Amino acid sequence: MRAEDSIKGWPWRLHGDGKSIRPGEIVLPEERMTWPRTIGIGAQHVVAMFGATFLVPLLTGFPPSTTLFFTAIGALLFLLITKGMMPSYLGSSFGLLAPIGAVTGFAATSGEKLDPSAMALAQGGIISVGVTLALVGIVVHFAGVRWIEVTMPPVVTGSIVALIGLNLAPAAWGWVQQAPLTAVITIAAIIVSSVLFRGMLGRLSILIGVFIGYGAALVQGEVDFSTVETAAWVGLPTFHAPAFDLGYLGLFLPVVLVLVAENIGHVKSVAAMTGRDLDGLTGRALFADGLATTIAGAGGGSGTTTYAENIGVMAATKIYSTAAYLCAAIIALILSLLPKFGEIIATIPPGVLGGAATVLYGMIGLLGVRIWAENRVDFSNPINLNTAAVSLIVAIANYTWSPAGLEFAGIALGTASAIVIYQVMRAIAKWRGTAPIPDSAPEAGQPEVTDRR
């Protein structure tokens, strides 16, 4: 059943009595529970995305409240553009960390503020990602998603996702070195809480780890509250105008491929959980995320993407109501208008950032490995083996190439390597009959694991 055939339009209709869900039932996107319960589920979605979403501005030096503001705007746009049929919250994308850091040179441990001119150039890069992703969405909407699946089969998608996380490893080590004890406590808290608690608490292990690490940093006198005292209780976030330099495009544009994979993964995941064919919404989802990223870059926020954490909340609650995401966006919007709250978040010290980044960057890297595993990528096949091997080393070592004033670094070159090596080797093998030709299309179960920042 296609989603378009099952939606009666807005507003949402009540699921049963709105108070309970019978065994085996789910709350569909066009349904809702009672509004108090729906608001509560929305709050759960905010908590689920909160830890990862706030880490991005902390690691890049961008204003946390501004980032949260644009994630809320992005989530509202996503609901509008997908006609209320695709439940999703657009949180901060980790795929943009490396190019932003390469442009700004910001170090969270230096104690210095982010250079406004460097931030503006990074925003220009974010806008280029958003515009390109929106254009891809338009093409997919009219041409279908098959061409992306052929261009980016599981071995390529897995390589790109993995190399993003592995390329960032040196940054995590830099933060850990500033406060090793706090970093170790944070890492241990994240690891233990992920297996100690059940249900939602287990899914919030990163947030719990950050809280515990923050407490350890407080005890050791590593937290500075001077900016919190002077911040207002209520006010608009700080907005920044962008600037553009074509020389940085090579750093940012490869991230488009990661966002494409994440959005397709999100659509496929929701389709599997709701038992619907949602392929017709893929173009809309890509366009919505591209537009949200463009707007965020224009105002000083980080780029956005769909979040696996929120997939987890839906899987746990069996509530796929887009009304809950409307509530989540409104809650996030309200929080972004509390400057003192944003300054409190900004006090998280380097040791905590380093500990959380160690786990998160590693998770991003292993998500690529998981894509390979769930799609049974055969690494005895030289096409798959060389595609992954070369692209990962290029990214980990951060190879750079600077032709004609442009700069291409590890993520850009690694991404290009994965796509080019796969397609060239596949063409030669098909011509010569020297190796089995890998299946270009991902299996139905693959996309869920790509849905990660």
User: Tokens 């020389």, residue?
Assistant: 247
Give the model confidence (pLDDT) of 390-424 as tens digits. Answer: 999 998 888 888 776 666 777 778 888 888 999 89
Q: Is residue 22 part of a domain?
A: no
DSSP 433-447: T-SPPPPSSPPTTSG
From 22-26, 133-137, 177-181, the region with the lowest mean pLDDT: 22-26
Q: What is the mean pLDDT of residues 57-65?
A: 85
Indicate whether 443 belongs to any domain: no
Could you give the C-alpha distances from 214 to 9, 164, 363, in angstroms and in order? 45, 27, 21
Q: What is the pLDDT of residue 242?
A: 93
The mean pLDDT value of the chain amounts to 81
Does 104 reside within a domain? Answer: yes
Q: What is the pLDDT of residue 266?
A: 78
pLDDT value, residue 136: 93
Contacts of 173 (CB under 8 A, 6+ apart): 354, 358
Q: Tell me, what's the pLDDT at 38?
A: 87
In the numeric block, the tokens 């254009």 are attached to 135
Domain extent at residue 101: 27-432
Residue 280: what pLDDT?
86
285 lies in a domain? yes
CA distances 404 to 129, 250, 262, 409, Å, are 21, 12, 32, 14
- Distance between CA atoms of residues 109 and 106, nearest Å: 9
Q: What is the pLDDT of residue 363?
A: 75
Q: Residue 297 has what pLDDT?
A: 93
- Greater confidence, 388 or 196? 388
Using one digit for the tens of pLDDT, what is the confidence trace for 109-120? 555 678 889 999
Q: What is the pLDDT of residue 450?
A: 42
CB 40 within 8 A of CB 314: no
Q: What is the mean pLDDT of residues 145-159?
A: 80
Band (pLDDT 50/70/90 cuts) for residue 195 is: confident
For position 305, what pLDDT does the model report?
86
Number of domains in the chain: 1
Residue 270 in domain = yes
**390's tokens:** 């070369």
Q: Are 178 and 351 in contact (CB under 8 A)?
A: yes
pLDDT in tens, 242-292: 999 888 887 888 788 778 877 877 787 788 778 788 888 889 999 999 999
Of 204, 219, 210, 217, the closest CA to residue 186 belongs to 210
**pLDDT for the residue 316:** 67
What average pLDDT score do residues 330-335 get?
A: 92
Between 452 and 43, the more confident residue is: 43
Give the per-residue pLDDT at 76: 94
- 0.85 surpassed by pTM: no
Mean pLDDT of 296-311: 84
Of the listed ranges 69-73, 174-178, 189-193, the least confidently predicted one is 174-178
**Is 386 a member of any domain?**
yes
Q: Which residue has the higher pLDDT, 121 or 435?
A: 121
CA distances from 357 to 108, 147, 177, 306 (A): 12, 34, 13, 19
Other CB atoms within 10 A of residue 8 CB = 8
What's residue 309's pLDDT? 66
Flag whether pLDDT at 231 surpasses 80.
Answer: no
Beta carbons of 347 and 58 less than 8 angstroms apart: no
pLDDT given for residue 69 in this prediction: 94
Is residue 438, in this structure, part of any structural domain at all? no
Residue 441 belongs to a domain: no
User: For residues 283 and 264, what is the distance between their CA atoms, to the nearest angstrom?
Assistant: 9
